[in-house]
Amino acid sequence: MMVSNTRKFVLTGLMTAMVFVLTFTIKIPIPFTSGYIHLGDSMIYLSVMILGPYFGAFAAGVGSMFADLIGGYAEYALPTLIIKSLMALMMGAVLSHKKKSVTGPVLSLIAVWIAFSSATLVYLRSQINKTGLENIASAIVGDAADHEALQHTMDVMNRLPVYLIAGVAVVILILAAAAFFLSRRGESGIFNSKAIIGMTAAGICMVMGYFLVESFMYTPIAAACSVPMNLIQFFGGLLAAGLFAPAVSKAKEAAS
Residue 98 has pLDDT above 70, yes or no: yes
- In one letter, which amino acid is 233? Q
pLDDT at 190: 67
Phi, psi of 28 (to 5 degrees): -120, 115
What does the pLDDT average to over 64-90?
A: 94
* Helix residue ranges per DSSP H, the chain: 2-25, 40-51, 53-70, 77-95, 103-131, 133-141, 147-185, 193-217, 220-225, 227-255
Region of 37 please: left (phi>0), alpha (psi -120 to 50) or beta: beta
Report percent pLDDT > 90 for the chain. 25
Query: What pLDDT, in 10s, does the model give residues 149-174?
Result: 778 777 877 777 777 777 777 777 77
What does the pLDDT average to over 162-187?
A: 69
Task: Write down all domains in the chain, each with its CATH number in brackets.
Answer: 2-255 (1.10.1760.20)
Helix (H) or strand (E) holding 1, with range, is none
pLDDT bracket for residue 137 (50, 70, 90): confident
pLDDT at 186: 56
pLDDT at 132: 78
Residue 217, classified by CB atoms within 10 Å of its CB into exposed (0-12), middle (13-18) or buried (19+), is middle
Residue 142 has pLDDT above 90, yes or no: no
Query: What pLDDT, in 10s, does the model give residues 16-62?
Result: 999 999 999 988 887 666 777 888 999 999 999 989 999 999 999 99
pLDDT at 118: 82
